[in-house]
Structure 1
Amino acid sequence: MIILVDDRPDVTDAYRTSFGREGISSATFTPTDFDSWFHSTSAPDLAAVEAFVLGDFARRENFTRAIKTRSEAPAIALNDSTGLESTLKLYAAGVDDVVRKPVHAREIIARIGAIRRRVTPIAKATDLGDLRIFNDGRDPEVGGAVLALPRRERRILEYLVANRSRRVSRNQIFNAVYGLFDEEVEESVVESHISKLRKKLRHRLGYDPIDTKRFLGYQINSRSAILA
């Protein structure tokens, strides 16, 4: 999920729509609302944030410093005009990239990916037994054959794999896939997506790699880990 901050609703709404077309969930804030939310939200909710995109508004340097104290997600500043001094101040505050508007949502997504790769090299694929999961938008493979999945199911699988060392709750999955503030979708839809995903994985793998424990959440494992 991408967090968009700007005091102009037309700017944030336009980018939210564009990110949605690319299959990326996002949440929008005015600077005042973001300041209140950021300092009160929980660590698990912040962990679901893939990046912060800051529009051209006052106090961005302060916001960037605050973000860097609680999150490792990239922070990208959007500038309406060029200005060396303001750009240097943003970098000094810890922003990861400064981009001149107009800029397409797909370019912002690409820049986020590039920043994350520079900070922590990301493997293009993760193997769990016969299951291979990619993190570049491709469908997973089972035994070398592609397993076509709807976009939401694929993103849930990618999220489970990225967090395979721990259990994740339904709420965390929902926030990562749909965004923290998508009021048009019920959180229970996650269970429906996971149920369909498990059936497809079970059919192709011969076992269910997603372990569920009531009140504790979901975790994905390879067959060897399940049998151990």
Structure 2
Amino acid sequence: MHIYLYEPRAGRLKGVMDELRSAKMRPVPIQAAFFRGELGLLNRGGHEDRPFLLADTPDLVDQISALRAAGCSNPVIVMRDFRNSRDTAAALDAGADDDLVIPIKGVELRSRVNSITRRSHGHAAESVQVGEVTAFFDGRDPEVSGQIVKLSRREHAIFQQLVLQAGKVVSKGAIYDAVYGMAEDQPFDKVIDVYICKIRKKIDQAALSGHHYIETVHGRGYKFSTPAPEMMAQAGGM
């Protein structure tokens, strides 16, 4: 998981980055100039779920407002040294999703980000069911027909992108950006194809219905689809 990190204090930056990496997040440090750039680019597929972790600075509310004014729906979490109810209220009113007092463990931060992300996609619970597939948002491997399907870290990241948007076509570019970061000129097609093939094989082998959950939509990307009711009924009778 990539996470944009704004922490202008050099002495604090390294510690925060180390904590994020310990929770298998990939921090992308940004500077104040970032918020004066073309923030609308964050609305490209694959970027809208990438969270922001912003230090409490005098420009905090303006930075949050700039993101929201540009139409960015990315999760925004504020980290501050001391609890201040008035400042916290101002940040939340400007569009922040959460406001935390540091230090905070990376594992808790990751869970908070996952909670915000899944709710933004209409999933309030810690898991989502698509046919025989149960996908978890807390890092656990998915279950297919009651069987745990082991996925690598990158396979899990790609799988989550697909299942969060089940029924919708997700482009290869969006998947690549979500897993590897911004890459306009990277030869991502082959890399994503290989990972999709591995994930599809693992899910298909475990699915009792015989349904192929990951569809290739030629020229557009991939879609995680729900099996027909008769296929589910057949699977239940096996």
Using the size of structure 1 for normalisation, the TM-score is 0.80
Please provide the CA RMSD for this pair.
3.2
Deviation digits for residues 95-127 of structure 1, max 9, x if unmatched? 233322322222322333455677765233333
Identity of aligned residues (%): 26
SS of the aligned residue for 1:173 comes to helix
Distance in 2 separating the partners of 1:118 and 1:133: 14
Cα displacement (A) at 1:29: 0.8
The residue identity in structure 2 corresponding to 1:209 is Y
Quick one: which of 197, 203, 228 aligns to 2:205? 203
Q: Which runs of 5+ in 2 are unaligned?
A: 232-238
Please give the residue correspondences for 1:22-171 in structure 2 after superposition, counting only pairs within 5 Å. 22-49=23-50, 51-69=51-69, 70-83=71-84, 85-115=86-116, 122-171=124-173
The count of corresponding residues between Structure 1 and Structure 2 is 224
Worse-superposed segment, 197-206 or 165-174 = 197-206
Deviation digits for residues 151-206 of structure 1, max 9, x if unmatched? 2212211210111131111111122223336x9x9634322211211221222224
Distance in 2 separating the partners of 1:171 and 1:217: 8
SS of the aligned residue for 1:161 comes to helix
Query: Is the contact between residue 78 and residue 100 of structure 1 (CA under 8 Å) also seen in structure 2?
Result: yes
SS of the aligned residue for 1:137 comes to coil
Query: Is the contact between residue 131 and residue 142 of structure 1 (CA under 8 Å) also seen in structure 2?
Result: yes
Distance 1:136 1:85, change over 3 A: closer
Please give the residue correspondences for 1:181-220 in structure 2 after superposition, counting only pairs within 5 Å. 187=188, 188-205=190-207, 206-220=210-224
Distance in 1 separating the partners of 2:206 and 2:57: 50
Deviation digits for residues 119-163 of structure 1, max 9, x if unmatched? 765233333332222222211112111111112212211210111
Distance 1:154 1:27, change over 3 A: same
Distance 1:149 1:80, change over 3 A: same
Query: Is the contact between residue 77 and residue 95 of structure 1 (CA under 8 Å) also seen in structure 2?
Result: yes
Q: Which residue of 1 aligns with 2:234?
A: none
SS of the aligned residue for 1:47 comes to coil
The residue identity in structure 2 corresponding to 1:130 is E
Cα displacement (A) at 1:63: 1.0
Distance in 2 separating the partners of 1:169 and 1:9: 37
Distance in 2 separating the partners of 1:158 and 1:199: 16
Stretches of 4+ aligned residues off by more than 6 angstroms: none
Using the size of structure 2 for normalisation, the TM-score is 0.77
Distance 1:35 1:148, change over 3 A: same
